Structure 1
């Protein structure tokens, strides 16, 4: 059975450590994928405005599963937008105050929000990942649909923190690792796999015709859902354990190498 859908995580997967990719090589591949009717999906925990900035010439030709599945856009058209309740936002922010995080960003449909007291260096760092970012005095009653929270901790303690946070607020939000000490708190039931499923139903594509690439905990659902779940060589152990296949690291263009194999009908994509 041939591949009809390719879903890629971005940071640590499609992008190298400098947050870049081989545009010339990919655009040549994309033209061929397009000619064969193979859909390309960007599936990331990142903000939609950030994600589409990497694909300015084709942003209206591809699909985005942004904010870990809370926001889905196909060819420039919004298909799905989740929303966290105001009660949940209040409870989660209160509980997170008990933890020593480096930063807290509340992610919404219109923008992401960061506390106005944040240091200039932290704000500049956050702007690398959030093209739309506003400073606010507090996170209550934001005039926006809120998708998720994003925080940063010491990378050495993420596993233990995840266990503790799941016990503390797992009934309200789902804590997931997004790499490099970052933890996202997402709406239960919404994740990359749920966003991809929506697109599959829209396009009439099944899991056996789909491939997904990832490196972090927030990729687990989509890696496990499709037949061709690929872990990057640099992926976290839990992702490697969940994946059926592996490819080279993000710095070695592992995704692009595998796309070449798809186009050439090489193993494991032999029809």
Structure 2
């Protein structure tokens, strides 16, 4: 296979441990090797850009982020691409979500994410872990000043599959529901996902699919893993993800990603 020129990592359940951190010392060492070998490091996550960059305070202005499941792409502090859901469609989706009593909603945009202030405080606190810019509003229908590109839903864990299927049927081709782990479902723009985000960056840098290594654990990583020449599912990943990847590696709590990155850079 070709030499790896891009390494794309999902964050929760993949790069990050259950303690929401990573081996910073080892990463710094490997990041220096990536710079020496001209290997691009891309953070590819369903989470908000402002949250993702907080994990890399020293180098956030150098890195590339495929945030919000591909809806918002930033390289070296510059916006590369930003998706958009038309307001009419946003309202149609909110109408449908209103029928589900056990679905809690965050509306995601370029400037901020938004949550109805009537939502349970526990849900708002949970949301603020993943959305560092989260504004409480009186009515999601009145959010019209931002570019909106994603819905982030939290549902009871035991109902994820059932609600996913129901949403697929209800939403048709308006928007695509994907599971993003621990009881969370993202509604993303059709055709916009982590793989489409990687492709935009590859085009920028002239990197071929077979030169990409991708790491993931959840349903929103499937396209990226199928797309990459080297693809790795975490031992703690969803069965469908393990099936899609070329290799299953150690779990997120066993430093699986960094151990594999060290091997890839050694082989280069």
Please, what TM-score do these two structures have when normalized by structure 2?
0.97
| 2: CA distance, partners of 1:260 / 1:63 | 20
Q: State the partner residue of 1:19.
A: 20
Q: State the partner residue of 1:258.
A: 260
Q: State the partner residue of 1:237.
A: 239
| 1: CA distance, partners of 2:43 / 2:232 | 15
CA distance 1:247–1:57, shift in 2 (3 Å): same
Structure 2: where are the runs of 5+ without partners?
A: none
2:165 matches 1:163:
yes
User: Secondary structure at the residue paired with 2:55?
Assistant: coil
User: Secondary structure at the residue paired with 2:178?
Assistant: strand
| 2: CA distance, partners of 1:164 / 1:90 | 18
Task: Pick one of 245, 248, 252 that aligns with 1:246.
Answer: 248
Compute the displacement of 1:102 (Å).
Answer: 4.6
* Structure 2 counterparts to residues 22-171 of structure 1, below 5 A: 22-142=23-143, 143-171=145-173
* Number of aligned positions between the proteins: 266
User: Secondary structure at the residue paired with 1:31?
Assistant: helix
Compute the displacement of 1:100 (Å).
Answer: 2.8
Q: State the partner residue of 2:189.
A: 187
Structure 1: where are the runs of 5+ without partners?
A: 266-270
Structure 1 runs of 4+ aligned residues shifted over 4 Å read none
| 2: CA distance, partners of 1:8 / 1:18 | 17
| 1: CA distance, partners of 2:92 / 2:176 | 14
| 2: CA distance, partners of 1:226 / 1:51 | 22
| 1: CA distance, partners of 2:65 / 2:138 | 31
| 2: CA distance, partners of 1:100 / 1:37 | 49
| 2: CA distance, partners of 1:120 / 1:169 | 28
Please, what TM-score do these two structures have when normalized by structure 1?
0.96
Q: State the partner residue of 1:268.
A: none
| 1: CA distance, partners of 2:178 / 2:122 | 25
